[in-house]
Each structure stands twice: as C-alpha cells, then as structure tokens.
C-alpha cells in the first residue's frame, strides 16, 4: 500500500473546490517534491520519508497540504479564508489542525494560533500550507467542517444568453455619466465588503454619483485584484468581461 493523505485535508480540499469552483491549483499539492524529500517535512510520508512526526501505525501518512491562494473569486481572498480558519481553530472548532502558514506568517496550536512571523525558506506566499495535528484523532478525522459556507455562496456567472448591452465604454478615473452610475451601483450592491479592504475611505460604502473618482477607482482595483486581473483601475474589455460574468448587466 502506498502513501495516503489524512482524510481531513482531503475534505478541506474538496470543500474549497465546492466553495471556489474556479480556483487555481497551480501552487498546491500534498506529497513533497524532491526539495521536501531531503528535509524534515509533513509533506513527506511518515513511514517511508522524513516526516515531522510518525506514529508507526503501518499507514504511510502525509499530514500537510498546500492550497493555491488564487481563488478567482471577487468577494473572497485566501487571506479571508486563512483568517476564518484561524478564528475557528482558536475557538477549538478545528481540532484536527496543528498549524497554518501563509504569506510569511504562522499560526500554531502550541501558541493558541497567535499570529507569528514565519522564518522558513519558503514564506508560502503562493499558497496556504495547512498541517494536520500529530495524533490519531486528527489522522482519522472525517466529516470535518472547514466553515467556508460562512464566506457566502460562490459567484454565479451570467449565462451566455443573458441580454447585455455590448456598447459599453471603457471607464477610468475622471469619467462621468450613466455608465459610471451603473458601475458604482453594481459594485456597491454586490460587493459591500470591499469597504473593509480598500484603503480609500476605509469603512465607507462606495458612493453612487456618476463620477469616476478615487473611491470608485479603488473599488475597481479591489475587484481586479480578486479576479487575478491587472490592477490598473480601468474598466476595459477584460475587467468588463469579468464583471459581466458575475452579474453586471450592462
């Protein structure tokens, strides 16, 4: 029998796939590569590799998974996901997790998941690293809840048959008019949580005044960032296509 990934991590992967059906998977995996194999890592199987922990139970278990940070969702980032998991772990609701590493920080069970700087050679900026705990309960845990439903439902693309006005102008800072008003209304209504992310008038909802000013530009840039687009604040063809995929009807 070959190596196996502990079930809770596979369930986490499946729940991420369900909540973020368009997410990227280029920077993720479970079993370690050659660089991992020559060093101590939970990506290495615990019977035949160099693991952080081995329980010598005859199962060649991998206790680490990397999840690509690019969720391709305009409402939620991997930072949002990681912070949700940290809160749940602190509250004792994810007892199967030992530690999480993301973007130069680590949250470990031994510290009650306090945020600490991670000083390893890989700061895990392209993915979130999740390590299951070192005990039989974590190894055997199934039916685990990763609480992703608390982040809302997946964005629903607009069907190709939906009527859309093709004559939409490129919009940028300084523009005015009805299309700016429509854009502002859509962004304000669909993504109110952006008020906690943008650094322009933090905490305030986007104003709807038909004037493409600094606040509107900041909200467009936030949308672009979360969709993996060039963050230039201009509503050009690619940004417009992504807006339309997610319910913008103009």
> Domains of the chain, with CATH numbers?
4-151 (no CATH), 178-245 (1.10.101.10)
Give the span between the Cα atoms of 208 and 83, in whole angstroms: 31
What angle (nearest 5°) sits at the alpha carbon of residue 236, between those of residues 19 and 204? 60
Confidence (pLDDT) at 110: 96
Neighbours of 60 (CB within 10 A): 17
Backbone phi, then psi, for 186, in 5-degree steps?
Answer: -65, -50
**What are the Cα distances from residue 46, in Å, to 135, 140, 235, 247?**
12, 15, 50, 47
Query: How large is the greatest C-alpha to C-alpha distance in the chain, in angstroms?
Result: 69
If pLDDT is split at 50, 70 and 90, which confidence band does 105 have? very high
Q: Please write the tens of the pLDDT for every residue from 43-93.
A: 999 889 888 999 989 899 999 999 999 999 888 899 999 999 999 999 999
Is pLDDT at 188 greater than 80 in this prediction? yes
């Amino acid at each position: 029998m070959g190596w196996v990934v502990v079930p809770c991590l596979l369930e986490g992967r499946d729940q991420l796939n369900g909540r973020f059906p368009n997410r990227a998977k280029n920077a993720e995996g479970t079993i370690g590569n050659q660089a991992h194999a020559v060093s101590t890592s939970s990506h290495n199987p615990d019977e035949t590799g160099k693991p952080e922990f081995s329980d010598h139970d005859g199962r060649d278990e991998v206790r680490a998974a990397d999840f690509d940070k690019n969720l391709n969702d305009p409402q939620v980032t991997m930072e949002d996901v990681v912070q949700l998991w940290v809160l749940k772990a602190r509250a004792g609701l994810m007892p199967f997790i030992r530690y999480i590493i993301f973007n130069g920080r680590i949250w470990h069970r031994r510290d009650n998941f306090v945020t600490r700087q991670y000083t390893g050679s890989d700061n895990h900026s392209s993915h979130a690293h999740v390590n299951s705990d070192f005990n039989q309960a974590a190894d055997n845990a199934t039916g685990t809840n990763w609480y992703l439903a608390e982040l809302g439902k997946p964005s629903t693309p607009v069907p190709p048959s939906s009527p859309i006005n093709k004559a939409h102008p490129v919009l940028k800072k300084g523009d005015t008019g009805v299309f700016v008003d429509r854009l502002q209304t859509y962004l304000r209504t669909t993504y109110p949580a952006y008020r906690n992310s943008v650094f322009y008038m933090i905490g305030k909802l986007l104003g709807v005044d038909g004037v493409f000013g600094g606040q509107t530009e900041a909200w467009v840039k936030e949308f672009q960032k979360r969709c993996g687009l060039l963050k230039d604040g201009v509503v050009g063809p690619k940004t417009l296509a992504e807006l339309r995929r997610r319910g913008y009807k103009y």
